[in-house]
């Protein structure tokens, strides 16, 4: 008697259609109120498991811009703050996460991601 194994994407909670080599996309249940997706310093992207399938591609593309900003040393996230540098020669600006409306297009790093 045999059994059928689930594919790796199911076992690890990956969104197989959006994942590419070096940038796996994982479904996450507890993203928080209003959060659709987030880019992580390790090159992964989390997407809200409740997000409709038709919105996932745009959310992943948006987060890939943030991954590029992180890799360039212009964007950093911590538990309490977001640090942004317009370019590598600009001074860093630190924003407190508790008082900011994250994801708002008025922030330079978000405007850049929404533009692409």
Ranges of the chain with pLDDT below 70: 1, 6-14
User: Is 59:36 a contact under the CB 8 Å cutoff?
Assistant: yes
Judge residue 40's burial from the number of C-beta atoms within 10 Å of its C-beta, 0-12 exposed, 13-18 middle, 19 or more buried: middle
| pLDDT tens, residue by residue, 26-52 | 999 988 888 899 999 999 999 999 999
Whole-prediction pTM value? 0.84
């Amino acid at each position: 008697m045999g059994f059928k194994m689930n594919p790796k994407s199911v076992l690890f909670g990956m969104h197989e259609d959006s994942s590419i080599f070096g940038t796996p996309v994982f479904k996450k249940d507890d993203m928080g109120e209003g959060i659709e997706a987030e880019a992580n310093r390790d090159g992964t992207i989390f997407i809200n498991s409740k997000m409709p399938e038709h919105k996932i591609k745009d959310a992943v593309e948006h987060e890939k811009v943030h991954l590029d900003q992180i890799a360039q040393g212009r964007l950093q996230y911590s538990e309490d703050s977001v640090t942004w540098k317009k370019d590598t020669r600009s001074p860093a600006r630190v924003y407190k996460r508790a008082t900011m409306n994250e994801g708002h297009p008025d922030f330079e790093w978000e405007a850049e991601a929404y533009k692409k």
